[in-house]
Amino acid sequence: MTTAAAYARFSSDAQRDESIEIQLREIGRLCDREGWDLAQTYTDYAISGTREDRPGFLRCVADAERGLFDVLVVYKMDRFARNVSYAQETKRRLFAAGVRIVSVREGEQTDTPDGFLTGGISDLFAEYYSRNLSVLVRGGIAQSARECKAAGRRMFGYAVDPETDRFVPDPVQAPQVRGMYDRYRSGETMEEIAAWLASEGARTLRGNLWSVTAIGNALRNPAYKGVYAYAGTEVEGGMPAIVPEEEWDEVEEIRLRRKNSKRRRRVNDYLLTEKVYCARCGKPMCGTAGTGRSGRKYTYYGCMHRGGCRVRVPSDAVEQTVLAALTDMLSDPGTVDAIAADMLELAQGRVRHAPEWRSEATESRRRRDRLVAAVADGLPVDSVRDQIVGLEERIRELEALADAEEAEAETMLDPDRARGFIEGYMSLIANRKDYARPLVDTFVDRIYVDPESAVVFFAIGEERDWGFDISELGSIKKSEPAGRLQVRSYDLWSG
C-alpha cells in the first residue's frame, strides 16, 4: 500500500486560509479515495509560507528524504510554500527522494517540464498572494470579522464548523472551560484548577499542560461569554457562549479583586487588618492564630504589642459583628442617599480621560492604516507585522479604558443608578466574604474591641476627627435602629 503524509499550515494573517482541521479532513478524504495509508501528519500553526524555517515543514522534508512515505499530500500548493525559489528547490529535493506531490485542489505536481511550468505558475500566484497580504488585512479580515468566522484561528473550547467556518462548542473542551469558571467562582486558586485539568488529562491547543498564565488568559477571554472579537471588530452574541454572561462577569470581578489584594493577602488574610484597635489600651491589634489540642486552628485579633494588655478576641466574632453593622448601616435609605450624593459630587469633580484615550485610539488607527498601506505598496509584511499587532492591542486597550470610565460616570452621575449599585453590591456580601473587603476599606474607619463589645466608627460624613479619649468608649450607646450614626457600639457575644 502507498504510504502518504499530510502537510497543513495556516498563517495568522491569512484570514481566508482554510483551517488546519479542514485541510486535514479533505486530505484524509483524498487518501481514502486513492486507497493510501495516511501515516504521517505535519503541521505549522500561524507561520507564514514565505518562511523557510517552519519546523513542521522541515521535519516533513527530512522524513521524505529518509524514505518514510511515498506521497506528500497538501490541500493547496500555497500551503507548500509561498516563495517561488524555495518552493521549486524543495520540490526538486522531494522528487529526487522519489516522493510524489499531490494537491487536493490542483492535483499531482509532476517531475516534467509541463509539471514544473504548471507548478511554477501556482508558486508565483502563491507568492503574489503573500506579498499582497495587506489587501486581505484591510478587506478580507474585516469581512470575516463581520461574519464572525473562525478565519483559520483556533480557540480552546471550540471546534470549527467546516460548512460555515464559524466556532461551535467542542464536546470535550467546552466542559473543561466551564469547569475552570465554576471552580474559580467557588474559590479555587488557578494552581488548584491547573492540577484539576492535569488530572482530567486536559492539554492546551499546543499539547502542553495548563499553566497558571494560560488559565488566567482563559478566565478573561470574552469569547466564552459569547463575544466575538477579531481585527478590531467585536460582536455581542457572535460566539456560542460556554459560560453565562453573569457568571463570566462574576469571575472577572473575583479575578480583579484577587489581583489587587494579592500582596495584602500574602501578609495577612484577616478582614479587619489595620482597622481594629484594643478598646482597653488603644493600641492596634493584629491577626494571630493558635492550635487547640484537637489540632483545630483558631484565629484571633490580639493586642500583642510590647507593653500591650494581651487581650485576644476571636476573629470570626469581630468580623461577623462588623459585617452585620455594615449591612445594617448601608441598608438604611438615608445612608444610601447620602452615599449616592457623595458619588455624584465625586463624579462631577473628577478629571475625565476618556476623550484623551479616544483621541489616542484614533491616532493609533491612522498609524496602523498607514502601515497597512505601506505593505500594499510593497513593504514586507514581516517587517511591520509586530507593529500592526501592537497597535491593534493598544486600540482595544484604549477603547476599553474609555468605555469603562464612561460607564462609571453614567452610574455615578445618576442618583438612581448609584443607589441601585450600592443596593446590588450589598446583596452580595452575605455569601461572599471577598465582596466585603472593599466595603470595609471604604466605609469603616476603625473598630475598638474587647472580649465583650465592639465600637465601630464608620467613614461616613465630612467630620472624621472625633477627638475622644479611650476611657469614653464605654459611654457610647448602642443604636437601634442603625440610622446614619457614625459611631455605634455592639455586643460581640453573650455568655
pLDDT of residue 375: 84
Cell numbers linked to 362: 484614533
Arithmetic mean of pLDDT, 222-232: 83
**Calpha distance 437→272 (Å, rounded):** 8
HSE at residue 250, side-chain half, CA atoms within 13 A, is: 17
Q: Degrees (nearest 5) of the Cα angle 477, 483, 485? A: 50
Q: DSSP states of 58-97 as a string?
A: HHHHHHHHTTS-SEEEESSGGGT-S-HHHHHHHHHHHHHT
For residue 207, is it left (φ>0), alpha (ψ between -120 and 50) or beta? Answer: left
Answer yes or no: is pLDDT of 295 > 90.
no
**Calpha distance 228→223 (Å, rounded):** 6
HSE at residue 288, side-chain half, CA atoms within 13 A, is: 14
CA distances (Å), 360 to each of 45, 365, 476, in order? 33, 9, 55
pLDDT of residue 309: 80
- Could you tell me the fold of the domain covering 150-260? Hect, E3 ligase catalytic domain fold (3.90.1750)
Answer yes or no: is pLDDT of 278 > 60.
yes
Name the residue among 366, 365, 363, 356 with its Cα closest to residue 401. Answer: 356
**Calpha distance 480→298 (Å, rounded):** 31
Mean pLDDT of the chain: 76
CB 421 within 8 A of CB 439: no
The burial class, CB within 10 Å (0-12 / 13-18 / 19+), for 104 is: buried
Q: Tens digit of pLDDT for each residue in 330-389?
A: 777 777 777 777 767 766 665 567 788 888 889 989 998 998 888 888 888 777 887 887
Strands 297-302 and 312-314: antiparallel
Answer yes or no: is pLDDT of 173 > 80.
yes
pLDDT of residue 263: 45
CB 123 within 8 A of CB 50: no
pLDDT band at 481 (very low <50, low <70, confident <90, very high): very low
Q: DSSP states of 396-462 as a string?
A: HHHHHHHHHHHHHHHHHT-HHHHHHHHHHHHTTTTT-HHHHHHHHHHHEEEEEE-SSEEEEEE--SS
Q: Report the amino acid identity of residue 32.
A: D
Helix (H, G, I), strand (E, B), or coil: what is residue 243?
coil
pLDDT band at 116 (very low <50, low <70, confident <90, very high): very low
**Calpha distance 396→399 (Å, rounded):** 5
Answer yes or no: is pLDDT of 84 > 50.
yes
Answer yes or no: is pLDDT of 299 > 60.
yes
Arithmetic mean of pLDDT, 34-53: 75
Is there a cis peptide before residue 333, judged by omega within 30 degrees of 0? no
**Calpha distance 376→365 (Å, rounded):** 16
pLDDT band at 209 (very low <50, low <70, confident <90, very high): confident
Answer yes or no: is pLDDT of 297 > 50.
yes
Among 162-166, 251-255, 410-414, the range scoring the smallest mean pLDDT is: 410-414
CB 284 within 8 A of CB 276: yes
Arithmetic mean of pLDDT, 282-290: 83
Q: Degrees (nearest 5) of the Cα angle 147, 29, 55? A: 75
Answer yes or no: is pLDDT of 437 > 70.
yes
Arithmetic mean of pLDDT, 14-32: 70
CA distances (Å), 119 to each of 24, 92, 111, 297, in order? 21, 12, 10, 75
**Calpha distance 326→259 (Å, rounded):** 24
Arithmetic mean of pLDDT, 274-285: 84
Cell numbers linked to 428: 452580595
Cell numbers linked to 154: 483556533
- Could you tell me the fold of the domain covering 3-138? Rossmann fold (3.40.50)
Q: Tens digit of pLDDT for each residue in 120-143?
A: 444 444 444 444 433 434 444 556
Q: What percent of the chain has pLDDT over 90?
A: 15
Distance between start and end Cα atoms, the chain: 88
Arithmetic mean of pLDDT, 105-129: 50
Higher pLDDT: 20 or 155? It is 155
Helix (H, G, I), strand (E, B), or coil: what is residue 481?
coil
**Calpha distance 250→431 (Å, rounded):** 13
Higher pLDDT: 404 or 484? It is 404
pLDDT of residue 5: 94
Cell numbers linked to 167: 466556532
CB 295 within 8 A of CB 304: no
Name the residue among 177, 133, 171 with its Cα closest to residue 152. Answer: 133
Strands 453-458 and 487-491: antiparallel
Q: Where are the domains of the chain?
A: 3-138, 150-260, 276-322+425-491, 335-422
Beta bridge partners, 107, equal 103
